[in-house]
Amino acid sequence: MSTPKSLSSDSRSSDSITPPLPDKYQSDHGVGLSNPSLSQGRRRMLDLVNRLHNTGVQIDIDLPQIAVIGSQSAGKSSLIESISGITLPRAAGTCTRCPTECRLSRSDAPWKCTVELRFITDKNGQSLGQPRNEAFGDPIFDKAEVEDRIRRAQRAILNPSKASRTFLEEDEDDTPEVSFSTNYISLQISGPEVADLSFVDLPGLIASVSRGGNERDIAMVESLVTSYISKPSCVILLTVACETDFENQGAHHLTKKHDPEGKRTIGVLTKPDRIPRGDEESWLPLIRNEQETLENNWYCVKQPSSQDLKQGITWEEARARENDFFTLTAPWSELDSMYQKYLRTSNLIDRLSSILSDLISKRLPQIQIELENTIQKTRAGLQQLPKPPSSDPVGEVVSLLHQFIGELNNIIEGVYHPEGLLQALRPAQEQFRREIRHTAPDFRPFEEPAEFLMAYVEPFPDPAFLLNEDGEGRSDRQEPHAGKIAPIFIDAVLKRADDARTRELPSHYPFVVQKSFIAEITGKWASPAQVLCRVVHSTLAQHVKALIAHHFSSFGQGGLEQRVMILVQDHMTQRAEAAQSLVAKLIALENDGALTLNEHYLADYKSKFFSYYKSAREEKQNPVLAGAIASFRPDAPPNLDKRGDRLPLTGIEQVLSGLSGIGLSSVTAEDLVKLLPPDRFDPALNIMADVRAYFQVAYKRIADNVPLAIDHELVRGVGRDLLPTLYRRLGVNGPEGLRICRELAQESPSVAGKREELLKRSERLETASRELVRVGL
């Protein structure tokens, strides 16, 4: 059975209490955006912005968001309940007097709701700089408990001088200290039938003092709503009750002030069943978008009445009755089919999701730029602050430095942990090996076809003898790769050889031909080698940064952490430059020319590749011999007659036996192609085999040497001489060491506050930046 869902009514008063639904009516489906057919991309966009909101970066960056606004009693809360599937408090005194953020996410796990209090101002209304989050009670697994928890959370928000936890136990509903608050409640709801959506429910705008507020409250609510809807990335969900004259609803006028062209606003008409008889036609121009035009149109929904709720209506029945209302009730039923999509809750929610996900998709690139710019400004602000002091000067600083260096050496040597440094580097090293492997020349032992299209040519399969060498040839050539390797046909090889001849005898070609092919290959190795160096540097920097924060973040006001971070980053930069220099030398050695002392290895590969290319060529020119060689199995049992005597040898077996009889026992079936009459392309085959064999030697060499060089100069190099470097550059063991350490441990309150604000902002921004990196932005 699914999680219970409470319904509310557009037509209820603000101080009514939602009657509980019988258990038998709380198991139906279809709430909000929990539609499994939603596209993967849309879910990905919504999930990403939810994670960005979790970092708190919305303080610094304008993030896409839905804000639900409306005048009091406009049916706003009923619509929210229909989307979220929870019941909101309706008791007087706490109803919608602070923002309520709903973060909904679909999950296969059982339904769960966690409630948090988000404080952005203190008890005096002054900004905290960094939001303070408090968990308000344990997670809720029974939906019936949500309304009471929210009511208590609102009381805690409206009484900022009291400890929040007391409101979890006390039932007294005293007069709140403040009537409205910019601090807000955050609901994180997940479950199998929960929406994939985030929005914030804002207090209803008060029309006048006579409608339940004072001048201060009216101004405060308007200011609070404005702080949300004035942001360019805020989608405004404007609720307008049809039972009240349109022009008298202040939410509409405030919306037009901040979105005059109606590009960010979605209008929602509620309570269509409460329209005075004869006035229905006056609302239709909105649905037709002929009046108060909005880019995303006006919608009309009908939520269950109080009587429906008392009778235990289910969500499915509510949607069915809503559909019947718009299908059978004039003038809604008489609207053209093109306008029917603007009626009913389900259509509104589908459109709302689409608009939000599209806005997120368009906004993400700019968010990334704004994040990077803000990160740079924040770092500059931190660097401009004076160096922090300390309470326990030399001894504590020395102890922290030694502990840090000891643990750094441990992670550099390797720790048995799936998130260890060396484990994190391994994928990049393997990717480098594949990148180098992909530069293997794609020789084709055939003439280039008359009509050759690069886009339609499949990679030439690697020979079988490479299959057992560390997985080579098994799938590497078929993996997706950024740069295609153009095939090199045999006639192009022979032409290059002919063009290179000087005073050589006929059929003799200079080694410069092989060198030219090898140079083209090795010339492609510099880029992936430097990429590996940068990736290792970045990964190492992340691990070291976390280690520095772990050891130094609690010392003083973070000044020592900041200085150590800068010095270590500078040290890592130097080691990275040394690694890049060494890698460049290794690549230069390869580019200088072909050289190897592994002659046996090279000769063995050349022989194999020559046979492979020769066989592939003869497969077309002499298919009979090629077929016989391909079908020959040296380990097959002998052919016997009926009496069990061995039959005379035939075919390939007979040829190999004869060759063995004259002392050529090492000849294999594949070698038989060498006995064929000379081919004018044999010199080209020889060049191809030379180059391909040398590639195997050089590729394995560079695939080992480059990671070894980076490991020596950068990974292990970071730990070398770091402690004396920190001592020297911090000045800890110098004549001014005591004074320096005292300065590191002490800090004025104003500077400490500024530093804390900047550090927290930097943390928010860095966390948000990593979230974008996780999705490939």
pLDDT tens, 32-77? 434 545 556 666 777 788 778 777 788 888 888 899 998 877 788 7
Residue 701: which residues within 8 A CB-CB, separation 6 or more? 596
For residue 19, the model assigns a pLDDT of 39
For residue 110, the model assigns a pLDDT of 92
- In the listed set 362, 384, 404, which residue is the last one of a domain according to the structure? 362
For residue 40, the model assigns a pLDDT of 61
- Domain membership of residue 661 (yes or no) is no
Name the most confidently modeled range: 37-46, 312-321, 674-683, 713-722: 713-722
Residues 454 and 309 in one domain: no
CA distance 215 to 207: 10
Is residue 537 within a helix (H) or strand (E), and if so which, with residue range? helix 526-552
Which has more pLDDT, 619 or 609? 609
User: For the chain, what is the domain count?
Assistant: 2
Residues 293 and 418 in one domain: no
Angle ∠(651,655,656) on CA atoms, nearest 5: 115
Among 579, 544, 460, residue whose Cα is nearest residue 726: 544
- Of 205-214, 317-326, 661-670, which gets the smallest average pLDDT? 205-214
- Domain membership of residue 474 (yes or no) is no
Which has more pLDDT, 319 or 678? 319
Residue 713 has pLDDT above 90, yes or no: yes
For residue 213, the model assigns a pLDDT of 58
Residues 287 and 417 in one domain: no
User: How many Cα atoms sit within 13 Å of 633 on the Cβ side?
Assistant: 6
Which has more pLDDT, 559 or 445? 445
Residue 130 has pLDDT above 70, yes or no: no
- In the listed set 362, 378, 402, which residue is the last one of a domain according to the structure? 362
- Domain membership of residue 606 (yes or no) is no
Which 8-state DSSP code applies to residue 231? S
- Domain membership of residue 125 (yes or no) is yes
The answer to whether the CB of 726 falls within 8 A of the CB of 564 is: yes
Six-digit token string for 66: 């839905």
Average pLDDT over residues 318-329: 89
Cα 249 to Cα 19, 239, 446, distances in angstroms: 28, 10, 80
- Domain membership of residue 695 (yes or no) is no
Dihedral angle over CA of 618, 623, 626, 630, nearest 10 = 140
- In the listed set 322, 345, 362, which residue is the last one of a domain according to the structure? 362
Residues 48 and 159 in one domain: yes
Looking only at the bridges linking them, the beta strands covering 127-135 and 112-121 are antiparallel
Residues 350 and 290 in one domain: yes
- Domain membership of residue 672 (yes or no) is no
Which has more pLDDT, 417 or 68? 68
Residue 684 has pLDDT above 80, yes or no: yes
Residue 352 has pLDDT above 50, yes or no: yes
User: How many Cα atoms sit within 13 Å of 648 on the Cβ side?
Assistant: 4
Residues 562 and 489 in one domain: yes
From the number of C-beta atoms within 10 Å of its C-beta (0-12, 13-18, 19+), residue 584 rates as: middle
For residue 477, the model assigns a pLDDT of 47
Dihedral angle over CA of 718, 721, 725, 728, nearest 10 = 170
Which has more pLDDT, 481 or 239? 239
Residues 400 and 344 in one domain: no
Residues 321 and 403 in one domain: no
What is the pLDDT of the chain when averaged over all its residues?
81
For residue 495, the model assigns a pLDDT of 92
From the number of C-beta atoms within 10 Å of its C-beta (0-12, 13-18, 19+), residue 308 rates as: middle
Structure confidence by residue, pLDDT tens digits, 273-286: 888 888 888 899 99
For residue 194, the model assigns a pLDDT of 76
Six-digit token string for 589: 């050695």
Which domain range does residue 410 map to? 393-459+485-501+528-593+702-746
- Domain membership of residue 426 (yes or no) is yes
Angle ∠(453,457,461) on CA atoms, nearest 5: 155
For residue 525, the model assigns a pLDDT of 94
Residues 233 and 301 in one domain: yes
Confidence of residue 421 (pLDDT cuts 50, 70, 90): very high
Q: Which amino acid is it at 267?
A: G
- Domain membership of residue 136 (yes or no) is yes
- Angle between helix axes 623-631 and 599-621 (nearest 10 degrees) is 120
Model confidence, pTM: 0.51
**Residue 399 is part of a domain; what is its CATH number?**
1.20.120
Q: Which residue has the tokens 């063009």?
A: 499
Confidence of residue 501 (pLDDT cuts 50, 70, 90): confident
Residues 292 and 152 in one domain: yes
Residues 337 and 251 in one domain: yes
The answer to whether the CB of 18 falls within 8 A of the CB of 90 is: yes
Dihedral angle over CA of 52, 57, 60, 61, nearest 10 = 0
Confidence of residue 678 (pLDDT cuts 50, 70, 90): confident
Residue 211 has pLDDT above 80, yes or no: no
Residue 681 has pLDDT above 90, yes or no: no
**Residue 182 is part of a domain; what is its CATH number?**
3.40.50.300
Average pLDDT over residues 537-564: 86
Residue 716 has pLDDT above 90, yes or no: yes
The answer to whether the CB of 117 falls within 8 A of the CB of 99 is: no
Average pLDDT over residues 641-664: 75
- Of 233-242, 343-352, 406-415, 618-627, which gets the smallest average pLDDT? 618-627
Average pLDDT over residues 532-551: 94
372-404 burial, b at 16+ Cβ within 10 Å, e below that, comes to eebbeebbebbeebebbbbeebbebbeebbeeb
The answer to whether the CB of 702 falls within 8 A of the CB of 572 is: no
Residues 356 and 435 in one domain: no
Confidence of residue 777 (pLDDT cuts 50, 70, 90): low
